[in-house]
Structure 1
Amino acid sequence: MASEGLRGALTAVLGGRGLLVQNYDSGPAGEPPAPVRLRRNVCYVVLAVFLNEQDEVLLVQEAKKECRGSWYLPAGRMEPGETIVEALQREVKEEAGLQCEPLTLLSVEERGPSWIRFAFLTRPTGMAQQVAAWAEGSRHRSPGLYSGGILKTSKEADAESLQAGWYPRTSLPTPLRAQDILHLVDLAAQYRQRARHPLLLPQELPCSLVCQRLVATFTNVQTVWVLVGTVGTPHLPVTACGFTPMEQRGGIKMAVLRLLQECLSLHHLAVETQGLLGLQHLGKDLTDGICMNVLVTC
């Protein structure tokens, strides 16, 4: 029965589905740590990459004093009580005027467990119904062409943004607020041309900490072994992130190395992160933690 449960868990995680986090195989000793909280000790950012059939990117013009007039992808911080998708949809509506739906997670970027950004390939709702027409002399679609909102123009400028517009991917407006969006735009274009992974969206499951569930594999010519937690029912191991100043500065991979060193007693293990298999978060009832299901090779 234990092997059947483990096989089902592995199938679920490899298929992009989630599993409830119940215990941590590696984490701080002693009392259970306090749950993470948005606006207190973690910051999550959502970012949307839109590409239309003309290979144009949706950008918004910043209204904030420190970067006013520069251009960037729709992005912003998550608020307490939101799911990741709800935060994405709110930010896009506030900054670009459109309702949207995420197609797939493109990237997870982090500066340690206290700052994590989720980038999505996204499309406006009702995009299948749009017509190929342009307002004369304008980068803005004519009103009503999207069933989910109207693209924000300079007439609707507010504290969230000055306007939004579609621009050729190879000729973006200047100045850009930062160059870090360029590789995300390239990722989106590459995914549309040739998807390297299945569509992946967050699974709404609660979690109290920032953690990673590992599918850690060891191979030889003929065999693949998967690391299994054996305390209680056999399970895929989970490691909590960021419980020392060094881990906060060093990034979330340090939690992976900690778990592997603890259970394998190897201090010079070569570990490669191969990709993200799934993302879990709920954000309701003060559950601001996230669980990333990660494939690593050892």
Structure 2
Amino acid sequence: MDSLDTQIETILNGQPLSQDIPVICDYNPWDLFSRSVTAVIFNEDMDVLMVQESKSGSRGKWSLPAGKVDPNEQIIDAIRREVLEESGLEIEATDLVVIDTFGYNFRFTFSGHVIGGQLKTVANKHSIEAKWCSQTAIKSLNLRYEDTMDLVNVVRNHNISLAMDPWRRPHFTAIGAHNRMLLRVVFTVRRKQNNRQYVLISRLPFPHLPVCAMHEKHNLKSILTDFLKEKLIKKYPVDSLLGVLSVEHNGVPRSPQDSPHDGLCITVLAKSRVPYEGMGRICGDYEWMQMSPSLEALLTRCLDNPNTELIQWRPKFWCKRPSKRRTNRSSHSKNMDKLSAQIAAL
């Protein structure tokens, strides 16, 4: 069996853990989940690909290309299929940027670019039409979801950050079979005495990263918080979840005789704002493992740059109609706008 250092490095490199490693669930507070995909596609003029809905209940409204992942389908295949069905365009997905969660709904948002096809002009059951829209024009559309522009800005800013760091590895779903919905935790703490990073591990029945079963009534942060409070740390700082390191999924059975394994294992990175010396006593089934220098270097890059190195996680799903209220944009979005203008001027 691979060492824990090797297992964590495998996750950081976007690969699934070996199927020879049993998945031990340390916390089991349900398995009724819905998986969907969304694409934010820009053209050379930074216009966004939008589609007009044809389904009853939302007919005539506009949205980003999106849809549910079919049974026995890979997530990456689902986003290509949905964009082709709704817009007529073939795309190459370039990065998994955001994961939205709300109850049992999981939505995976990809960036990408067009590699073929023709823009749809004839309505069918998938959509009425598709067109490229400027970001200003999108605001005047009858949008199905209120956070459409927010997600467009998130992916746009993500693409700008990538342009400044060409060595960053893109994120995709790793092909790993699971028959449950699981949350794996990489929880780190820094020790003042030697200025080294430690990671929390569960010791029984063999050393492994802690794993929690997901529950449809709780988002990722609440599951993580409940787990740490119950098992380890009573005063866990709930705002220390930095983002998602990897997503393991394999919707395609190896053979017709295989049992279903259309589950997920999402590995998140969290850090303690309290140093090792102030953590206090933890449950006897757990301990802190000092990382090897090479692993610490990999993980430090993620800890220091979570906005670019990790898949963003958002606990809110787009389930409301567009609001007419004006909202204040974050200082990060405003700074990214300035940076975008500077890059364009080069």
1:63 and 2:77 equivalent? no
Q: How many residues get paired? A: 256
**TM-score in terms of structure 2 length:** 0.69
Residue among 225, 232, 249 paired with 1:257: 225
Give 1:96 shift: 0.6
| Alignment partners' CA distance in 2, 1:48 and 1:239 | 29
Residue among 122, 126, 129 paired with 2:112: 122
Give 1:121 shift: 0.4
Task: For residue 85 of structure 1, give the secondary structure of its aligned residue in structure 2.
Answer: helix
Alpha-carbon contact 1:45-1:117 (below 8 Å) kept: yes
Give the equivalent residue in structure 2 for 1:161. Answer: 127
1:179 and 2:149 equivalent? no
Instruction: For CA contacts below 8 A with separation 6 or more, give which structure has more relative contact order.
Output: 1
Q: Report matched runs for 1:38-49 at 5 Å.
A: 41-49=32-40
- Tell me the amino acid that sits aligned with residue 235 of structure 1: H
Give 1:99 shift: 1.7
CA-to-partner distance for each residue in 1:195-250, whole Å, 9 max, x for gaps? 386410001111111111111001244121100121133222211111xxxxx323
Give the equivalent residue in structure 2 for 1:267. Answer: 234
Alpha-carbon contact 1:25-1:259 (below 8 Å) kept: no
| Alignment partners' CA distance in 2, 1:85 and 1:106 | 13
Q: Report matched runs for 1:1-298 at 5 Å.
A: 5-19=3-17, 20=19, 22-28=22-28, 36=31, 41-112=32-103, 114-125=104-115, 148-153=116-121, 156-172=122-138, 173-195=140-162, 198-221=169-192, 222-242=195-215, 248-264=216-232, 266-271=233-238, 272-285=240-253, 286-298=260-272
**Runs of 4 or more consecutive aligned structure 1 residues displaced over 4 Å after TM superposition:** none
**TM-score in terms of structure 1 length:** 0.80
Q: 1:25 to 1:263 in 2, by over 3 A?
A: farther
| Alignment partners' CA distance in 1, 2:7 and 2:90 | 35
| Alignment partners' CA distance in 2, 1:65 and 1:162 | 12
| Alignment partners' CA distance in 2, 1:290 and 1:166 | 33
Gap regions ≥5 residues in structure 2: 254-259, 273-346
- Work out the percentage of aligned pairs sharing the same amino acid: 31
- Tell me the amino acid that sits aligned with residue 176 of structure 1: L
| Alignment partners' CA distance in 2, 1:255 and 1:65 | 35
| Alignment partners' CA distance in 2, 1:5 and 1:220 | 22
| Alignment partners' CA distance in 2, 1:62 and 1:50 | 17
Aligned-pair Cα RMSD in Å:
2.0
